[in-house]
């Protein structure tokens, strides 16, 4: 790819002056239009050391309204970051809709600097390409403009620049051992860069190679590219059909979906109180021990609770955490997305709340809201919830690849049991707050939820993140099964890691 880059490209002083004014005006206009249309703009700057990334970013920054952009300088990951899946820190830095984010280095460090520094194996590098493609596709599907610049110079030019930088005491610090190493290993870097360009070019996230021998040329090409990309996106947005938000209709009747797999679970399963108390105590002790081992082995765990209204999620979570050291876990209740969250791709808030390695995050409701309540109520478009199955399995796969223990519970009760619990709640004064008109309304949509739940179980129960259905007509039974499932999953992970147990 890089052999067809003409590094002799230059632009005259007069041409520069002639076009730059116009481009600056258009860029300003772009920023206002992107803000108004709610289009996030993500610009990635990669390239050779001393190729002029900083200068290109500065040039953009001079023109952009500073309230509307942020520059993210990507350095070696710090401890907080190393204890999370590696894409975590980039998810964290996503701009809200309407804003610009400029990345000085980026997620591509993983397949360049870290890979060539032997910190990332070949197979981890393949995995990284795949995760990058997933990330960028999710951004594009959300409507972001994504442009990636590769600033290209040849080996001689780089050497010349290093020398010049070294001569000036004010800039000598910019050239160290690692910079000279890149120059010495120019061909190795070049091969890796070409592979990267090939593996991660896509229509929705193109690489733009910038002939970076002359600074003026770089400035014009970068600003011009950004302007054209944003203008196009704004036009496309304006002519796109309006999204349709429609509640799910009652499922068509068909003998093929009269019964579902949910009907196969035996809701008559129970446990007697005495047995329950004994087992609960044992399990809580076991979990306390495991929580510590998990911490020592630096394994993160994510536990998801989903289920019918009044199925007993809260009480179940309470029993799970009661014996745990509160420094080691966090319960994350999930409601409708807030304003800030709505300005980002759907999974953003869940990425942000991922536990540090060694810690446990317990989600009371979760990202599955997208394919449950949002689907049923029409809070998202059909395209969005359909896409979500894939986005979710990709998300969980990335967590699993990082070594995360994933346990997902669906608390299953039947409609009769739900009715009994709703009525009981209304009758008992101290429980009355727990029941709202929403609950009664959801209940009327039982059939829609049933279809959504079955679709969810079938499409998102994967080998790395399986669902466990808890037969929850008997709350006690469901609690014991949940705690046992968590304990076993943690034990498997710890044994797999080969960490000595206490």
Tell the smallest beta-carbon distance from residue 47 to its own copies (Å).
16
CB 154, min distance to its own copies, A: 13
Q: Do residues 72 and 66 lie in contact, with contact meaning Cβ atoms separated by under 8 Å?
A: no
Residue with token string 């290109």: 56
Rule CB under 8 A: say whether 457 interacts with its own copies. yes
Residue 58 or residue 458: which is nearer to its own copies going by CB? 458
Identify which of 311, 312, 320 has the alpha carbon closest to the alpha carbon of residue 361.
320
Nearest-approach distance from CB 252 to its own copies, in angstroms: 9
Paired strand residues for 150: 46, 209
Q: Which stretch binds its own copies (CB under 8 A): 71-79, 159-167, 286-294, 457-465?
A: 457-465
Nearer to its own copies, 130 or 341 (CB): 130
Span 239-268, contacts to its own copies by CB under 8 A = 241, 254-256, 259-261, 263-264
Kindly state whether residue 238 participates in binding its own copies, applying the rule CB under 8 A. no
Closest CA to 348 of 72, 82, 35, 94: 94
How far is the C-alpha of 266 from the C-alpha of 310, rounded, in Å? 18
Cα 71 to Cα 29, 94, 104, distances in angstroms: 20, 11, 7
Token couple for 44: 């990635």
Q: Residues 2 to 41: which contact its own copies by CB under 8 A?
A: 3-6, 8-9, 11-12, 15-16, 18-19
Beta-carbon neighbour count of residue 454 at 10 Å? 15
Position among 441, 458, 492, 495 found at the interface with its own copies (CB under 8 A): 458
Identify any residues that bridge with 467 across adjacent strands, giving them in sequence order. Answer: 408
Q: Please tell me the distance from the alpha carbon of residue 162 to that of residue 179, in angstroms, as a whole number.
A: 8
Dihedral angle sign, alpha carbons of residues 470, 476, 479, 481: negative
Q: Is 386 in the site for its own copies (CB under 8 A)?
A: yes
Asked if 188 touches its own copies (CB under 8 A), the answer is no
Q: Is 490 exposed, middle or buried (0-12, 13-18, 19+ CB in 10 A)?
A: buried
Using the rule CB under 8 A, give the single segment among 43-51, 66-74, 105-113, 385-393 that binds its own copies: 385-393
Residue window 197-236: x/- pattern of binding to its own copies, with contact defined by CB under 8 A: -x--xxx-----x-------x--xx--x------------
Q: Which of 189, 203, 182, 215 is nearest to 13 (CA)?
A: 215
One of 186, 379, 389, 422 touching its own copies (CB under 8 A) = 389
Question: Which parts of this chain interact with its own copies (CB under 8 A)?
Answer: 1, 3-6, 8-9, 11-12, 15-16, 18-19, 191, 194-195, 198, 201-203, 209, 217, 220-221, 224, 241, 254-256, 259-261, 263-264, 386-387, 389-390, 393, 454, 457-459, 461-463, 466-467
């Amino acid at each position: 790819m890089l052999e067809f880059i003409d590094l002799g490209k230059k632009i005259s002083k007069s041409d520069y002056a002639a076009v730059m004014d116009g481009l600056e005006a258009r860029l300003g206009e772009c920023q206002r239009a992107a803000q108004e249309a709610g289009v996030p703009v993500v610009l990635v700057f990669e390239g050779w050391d001393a190729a002029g990334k900083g200068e290109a970013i500065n040039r953009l920054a001079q023109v952009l309204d500073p309230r509307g952009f942020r520059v993210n300088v990507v350095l070696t990951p710090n401890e907080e970051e190393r204890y999370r899946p590696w894409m975590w820190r980039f998810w964290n830095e996503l701009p809200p809709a309407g804003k610009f984010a400029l990345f000085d280095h980026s997620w591509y460090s993983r397949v360049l600097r870290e890979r060539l520094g032997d910190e990332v194996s070949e197979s981890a590098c393949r995995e990284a390409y795949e995760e990058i493609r997933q990330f960028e596709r999710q951004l594009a599907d959300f409507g972001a403009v994504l442009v990636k610049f590769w600033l290209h110079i040849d080996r001689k030019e780089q050497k010349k620049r290093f020398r010049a930088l070294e001569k000036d005491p004010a800039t000598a610090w910019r050239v160290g051992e690692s910079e000279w190493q890149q120059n010495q290993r120019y061909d190795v870097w070049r091969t890796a860069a070409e592979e990267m360009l090939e593996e991660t070019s896509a229509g929705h996230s193109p690489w733009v190679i910038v002939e970076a021998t002359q600074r003026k040329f770089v400035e014009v090409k970068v600003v011009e590219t950004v302007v054209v990309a944003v203008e196009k996106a704004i036009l496309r947005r304006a002519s796109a059909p309006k999204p349709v938000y429609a509640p799910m209709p009652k499922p068509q009747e068909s003998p093929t979906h009269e019964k579902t797999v949910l009907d196969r679970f035996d809701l008559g399963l129970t446990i007697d109180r005495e047995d329950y108390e004994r087992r609960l105590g044992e399990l809580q002790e076991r979990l306390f021990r495991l929580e510590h081992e998990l911490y020592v082995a630096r394994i993160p765990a994510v536990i998801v609770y989903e289920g019918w209204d009044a199925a007993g999620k809260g009480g179940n979570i309470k029993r799970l955490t009661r014996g745990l050291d509160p420094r080691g876990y966090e319960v994350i209740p999930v409601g409708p997305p807030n304003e800030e969250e709505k300005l980002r791709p759907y999974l953003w808030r869940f990425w942000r709340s991922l536990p540090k390695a060694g810690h446990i995050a317990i989600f009371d409701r979760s990202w599955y809201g997208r394919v449950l309540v949002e689907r049923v109520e029409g809070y998202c478009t059909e395209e969005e919830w359909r896409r979500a199955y894939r986005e979710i399995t990709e998300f969980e796969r990335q967590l699993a690849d990082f070594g995360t223990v994933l346990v997902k519970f669906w608390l299953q009760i039947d409609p009769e049991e739900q009715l009994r619990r709703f009525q009981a709640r209304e009758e008992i004064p101290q429980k009355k707050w727990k029941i709202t008109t929403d609950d009664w309304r959801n209940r009327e949509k039982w059939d829609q939820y049933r279809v959504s739940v079955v679709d969810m179980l079938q499409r998102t129960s994967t080998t790395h993140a399986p669902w466990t259905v808890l037969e929850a007509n008997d709350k006690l039974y469901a609690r014991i099964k949940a705690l046992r499932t968590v304990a076993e999953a943690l034990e498997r992970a710890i044994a797999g890691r080969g960490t000595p147990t206490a």
